[in-house]
Structure 1
Amino acid sequence: MRDFESKMPAARSAALPSGVSASSTLRRPARSGLLHARLDSAARADTPPAAPMDVTVRRDGEAEAEILAVWEQYKLCRTAALRERLILHYAPLVAMVASRVGMRLPSSVEHADLVSYGMFGLIDAIEKFEIGRDVKFETYASSRVRGAILDELRAVDWIPRSVRSKARAVDRAHADLEGELHRAPSNTEIAAHMEITESELRGIQGQVANVNLVALDEVLGAGDRIEQVSALDTVQQARSHDPARTFEAKETKFLLSQAMEQLGEREKIMLVLYYYEGMTLAEIGRVLGVTESRISQMHTAAMTRLRTKLTTSEGL
């Protein structure tokens, strides 16, 4: 029994973690269950896990070393397989630059088109990059990718760059005046702000009117309970009828027929021959047996009476 009791302290010390003595464990005061849980959770929060961070750093270092080896091999032999690995590795850089450029472009420009334009800049940057210089490839390639996107946009743009610059100048002037006046500025105020005449401003506005384009398949409105509507759906059909205009035309014809019923027989014949048959005043005069001047007087008197009747009817 005495031998067992003498071996207990040594066994207890061996079971404890390194750096923790048995005496300190014996002197630790008792804690309640809630206090014990809070202190343990705080201790775990203060101790950051070292293994995941080490793994992340080691993985990043391995990736950098691997891509550097690919660069060195590509500069020696320049094979298509190595270039493809570099393109795939830096493809997210192209998407990021394309997103930044697309933020200031109209919605009609597709993001996929910008990415395809930027890929040409990435390939050119890979071909011309020198690994011996103290410059990161991402920094060098970003400018080349952005330049390739802008060059391609200018190439496919059918609007001259001078008109684009004028449009931006008008927009800036409008925005500045709107911020100062707290209302929409007039053309006179915009022209004075730009130090040009109103006629020059109208000429610029006429050129700028052809700049903005809208794709017919672009969705203009959408909602939870509203069906998506494209620009093509909002274009008025050539054969569609306006109910208001149709009703107005029918009413005008009805009032005109009533007014013509109050004219004389010779006046009716004269109006039919002139407006429906397309005859001249001289020809109508020969048909009715009167002179051309008389037909002109009859036409003026008939039109005055019809205008008075229609004006009176609209007033009612």
Structure 2
Amino acid sequence: MTATTHVETTTDSDTELPQITNPQKMAPNDARAMSRLFFERLAVLEEGTREYQYARNTLIEMNMSLVRFAAGRFRSRSEDMEDIVQVGTIGLIKAIDRFEVSREVQFTSFAVPYIMGEIKRFFRDTSWSVHVPRRLQEARTELAKATEELSTRLGRTPKVSELASLMDLTEDEVIDAQMAANGYTAASLDAALGIDADDGEVTLSEFIGEDDPALELVEDFHALAPLIADLNERDRRILHMRFVEELTQAQIGTELGVSQMHVSRLITRILARLRSGMLSLETPS
């Protein structure tokens, strides 16, 4: 059955576009015909106007069936279908913004590669636990095939030189691919590695990593920000010149038209105020 689409002619003579109720429910044939009309108007409308936004948004909704069709090819993947549709919609929008009616190409033929490309890029960028360059992602696949082939043929784990010869790569490139392969999956820091007689379950986090002293700086900067915001404009300017621009006290004095000694007193006073504020935050109420 063909879906029924409610179309009302607009009363705005500037747009000459029909007002469409539920454009996503349009039959594919109707959507193709109506899309051409909307593209022709979109090409002459001024970007940013209400009419332009209506034409563009309606084109997106009318052609969402293309996104759902493309997304349906990935139903077997573990990712949420809603996420795939959202990513495919980005490809649809790019296609709409770049399509030209004068090319005499069907919009569906033009849009599907954009939609599929965006979805495939999504899988490529999210399937890896650690993002690595695309060339290394592709090399990992070839490395797995070459390793399996040589292992079967040689009856042992192949050497880097043997893999390089089969893959027509340098040994350094093979090593890069092997290292990149480690980024495909990640182990949880809470993963159990075994049972200790004294401490019980032993996790991965106990063997890697250490406290980062720089994290304390992040907390300090976060606490310091509102205290600096409470300073007057001149005091903030002095701090900026001294600790951001790294000017000397003499140079700051020249900028402010005061003596170096006076600048020294001002900086001491400002820092004392900030220090007091920081200490008060650390003191339990």
Assess same fold via TM > 0.5. Answer: no
Structure number with higher helix proportion: 1
TM-score, normalisation: structure 2: 0.42
Please state which structure has a larger fraction of its residues in strand. 2
| TM-score, normalised via structure 1 length | 0.39
- Look at both structures and tell me which one has the larger radius of gyration over its CA atoms: 1
